[in-house]
Amino acid sequence: MELLVVISIIALLIAILIPSLRVTKRHAEAALCKSNVRQLSLGLTIYDTDNQTFPYALDTTLPYPPPGGYPGNLMFDRPGWWWFHYIIDYSKSDSESVICCPSRQIRDKILQYNVLCGNYGVNQSICKSSHGGESQAEFVGKPLCCNDILHPSQTFLVVDSGYSMINWWHATDAPPEPPGNTIEDAAYIPGLWINEDKSLWPGLEEDSLYGRHPDKTVNAGFADGHVSRVKADVFFVEKAGDSYKNLRPLWLPE
């Protein structure tokens, strides 16, 4: 009887402690993620200082692959040099650990090892792509420099993201053009409420719908160098008549 009582007490304590340990783990992962975002933001700003421009989000013009080969899966990811390749020399830690969010919620076996999915994304209104479709021409062209950003403390550079580059079209339920069917078009802010109605890429549902950090928060690095953990819904862009709310200066550096 005494043994049964002891076992019951131990079982009760375990049942009480496990949820607390899970919460503690999530907070620790969120803190590590914030540290990663801070280093990535620092790398982007130092790159801008040295080159008078931020790096491309994706550069497909170079005729040779980056060190280690093209990241992602060439079946659905475009080959090229990504923004994190350009800032590798400005990061204080191992690049592979810094560009991977410790809180990503991806269970798909293929996407689990795809560094482009479920980690961090740069703002395509600043770090533009070298090539892209005509419908999203505003995100294609020469990247901006820090002097082009009028409110650096309010405009983000890098954030928890479903894909390695993200733009405001991914944060509104009424984009100017219907989203395509590529993995780039399925980018998202983890935990943003509109994700429930989006066409999600298979394997990214948990990360997209439930978020990564406690209270559906995300870590964001801003152009002035500071990093904040904020509610995912802060990034929502609302259609209002012929214009959009919450677009400037958070997404657009104007």
Distance from C-alpha of 186 to C-alpha of 145, rounded to nearest angstrom: 27
SS3 sequence of 97-115: HHCCCCCCCCCCCCHHHCC
User: For 217-230, how does the pLDDT look when each residue is reduced to its tens digit (9 = 90+)?
Assistant: 999 999 999 999 99
Structure tokens at 188: 């998202």
Any idea where the domains of the chain sit in the sequence? 2-245
Distance from C-alpha of 147 to C-alpha of 55, rounded to nearest angstrom: 14
Amino acid in the structure at residue 149: I
pTM of the model: 0.89
Distance from C-alpha of 244 to C-alpha of 186, rounded to nearest angstrom: 20
Q: Out of 5-9, 54-58, 217-221, which region has the weakest mean confidence (pLDDT)?
A: 5-9
Report the pLDDT value the prediction gives residue 3, as an integer from 0 to 100: 66
pLDDT band (50, 70, 90) for residue 102: very high
User: For 154-204, how does the pLDDT look when each residue is reduced to its tens digit (9 = 90+)?
Assistant: 999 999 999 999 999 999 999 998 888 889 998 999 999 999 998 888 889
Question: Does the pLDDT value for residue 253 go beyond 90?
Answer: yes
Given CA atoms 247, 248, 250, 254 in this order, what sign does their dihedral have? positive
Distance from C-alpha of 100 to C-alpha of 117, rounded to nearest angstrom: 9
* Cβ atoms of 130 and 140 closer than 8 Å: yes
Structure tokens at 202: 């298979």
